[in-house]
Amino acid sequence: MQMNGSSSSLGPGGLDLAQSFFKPIQNGAPPSTTKRHTKISVVGVGNVGMAIAQTILTQDLADELALMDAKPDMLRGEMLDLQHAAAFLPRTKISASADYSVTVGSDLCIVTAGARQIPGESRLNLLQRNVALLSDIIPPLAKHSPDSILLIVSNPVDLLTYVSWKLSGFPTNRVIGSGTNLDSSRFRFLIADHLDVNAQDVQAYIVGEHGDSSVALWSSISIGGVPVLSFLEKQQIAYEKHTLENIHKEVINSAYEVINLKGYTSWAIGYSVANLARSLLRDQRKIHPVSVFAKGFYGIDCGDVFLSLPAHLGRGGVLGVTNIHLTDEEVEKLRKSAETILEVQNQLGF
């Protein structure tokens, strides 16, 4: 079932009114064959998927947006709701279907679909259900858009990014997880709030697992170009380590708090993923802490694992990983985070 946008064939017998309405100029050349069309597909139109889709539209990041979901009625409703805002948005073709053919030719495929945890269900059982779900999603996406970049948002994101890499057969640079990009934004917000500065002037990263074993890179935090910890030491300003740890714990608990209060997270992850889409498709060459193939970086050699590292992103996907100086303690925590992910990953049979 295909549910596309508007058509210019509205006249009698399917007459193309666009050709009747507009008269071409004389001696004109046909359009350039150079590809300038950008297409993004979003798989899963729940709260997260639609927050991402809405942010992509308002930020004018795509010429075409394709929505895909297994629930056709909700899918059509979401498509129509977005199409009806056309007069207030940049021109974007919006299509929707429960058939993966709607995603054909995508430059970026964003996967948000995932099973919800049943009360009393173990995390491993939930993970296995999500792996089964991705087994139905990733192969047809890869088939219809073999040159696309896969951006996985479904949780647990590091493990599911690894699974998506295996299922797609894509090179490692074109499979990315949203990882700790949002965690790092929360981190920057909390630091900025403590110091009463703009969060955009705070350079700070959370790396490792998108979860409890994540690592806050305190040693590399800077504000307005000033390294924070070395500044405090030079000024002989005392600080307590547990204060820093409490800020990190607040980052980890932030999503749980939002979920407890409103039932789900949506807006922040929508902005986070749209931010990644901009860097990738517009070749911004920005550094983002996202889930990437981490083997060989920072002494991580325990196996094929995806976790968040400060990655250089552009039109080719992951262009490289930033060589940030880490303390011995941070390196050890990062390795343990990798081992935590691998411990569960090894139970999947991939």
CB contact at 8 A, 221 and 210: no
- Which helix (H) or strand (E) covers residue 51, if one does? helix 47-58
Q: Are β-strands 93-97 and 108-111 bridged in parallel, bridged antiparallel, or unpaired? A: unpaired
State which H helix or E strand residue 139 sits in. helix 123-144
Distance, CA of 144 to CA of 66 (rounded, Å): 13
Look at residues 197, 266, 249, 259 and name the one whose alpha carbon lies nearest to residue 226.
Answer: 197
* 44 known member of a binding site: yes
Distances in Å between the Cα of 335 and the Cα atoms of 176, 293, 297, 312 are: 20, 14, 10, 21
Give the residue among 66, 48, 46, 47 at the shortest CA–CA distance from 57: 66
Annotated binding-site residue? 28: no
Strand partners, 139: none
State yes or no: 154 annotated in a binding site: yes
Residue 316 labeled ligand binder: no
Indicate which residue of 210, 248, 312, 325 is catalytic: 210
**Pairwise CA distance, residues 342 & 339, whole Å:** 5
The length of the chain, given as a count of residues: 350
Q: Is position 47 annotated in a ligand binding site?
A: yes
Query: Binding residue per annotation — 46?
Result: yes
Radius of gyration of the chain measured on its C-alpha atoms: 22
Query: Following DSSP, what letter does each residue of 224-292 receive, concatenated?
Result: TTEEHHHHHHHTT----HHHHHHHHHHHHHHHHHHHHHHSS--HHHHHHHHHHHHHHHTT--EEEEEEE
Whether 210 is a known active-site residue: answer: yes
Please tell me whether 130 is known to bind a ligand: yes
What does residue 304 show for φ and ψ, rounded to 5 degrees?
Answer: -75, 110
Token pair, residue 219, equals: 């040693």
226 annotated as belonging to a binding site for a ligand: no
| Contact of 123 with 153, CB cutoff 8 Å | no
Q: Which residues are annotated as a binding site for NAD(+)?
A: 44-49, 69, 130, 153-155
Q: Which residues are annotated as a binding site?
A: 44-49, 69, 130, 153-155
Q: Which residues are the active-site residues?
A: 210
